[in-house]
Amino acid sequence: MTAKYYTQFKLTDSSYRGCNEFSGVVELNRPLEKDWDAADIEAILARNFDLKQSSITLISWSRLH
């Protein structure tokens, strides 16, 4: 079962040019566990953009119903 989340985050990688704040819907293959924290979500986003986790700063994240 997939799960959709609304997210806002910043890319802080120095090699990234242009606007660095993004927002939108992210769809995952399964819902996140309740004990996941911001670092876990930043890791997911970083993998998606092929960046280091330290290059992502999570602003907000909430599940869409």
User: Is it the case that residue 8 has pLDDT exceeding 90?
Assistant: yes
Measure Cα distances from 39 to 28, 50, 52 in Å: 16, 16, 12
Domain enclosing residue 9, as ranges:
3-63
- Counted domains in the chain: 1
CATH number of the domain enclosing 7: 3.10.20
Two tokens at 22? 């993004």
**pTM of this prediction?**
0.79
Instruction: Encode pLDDT of 26-58 as tens digits.
Output: 999 888 888 888 899 999 999 988 888 889 999
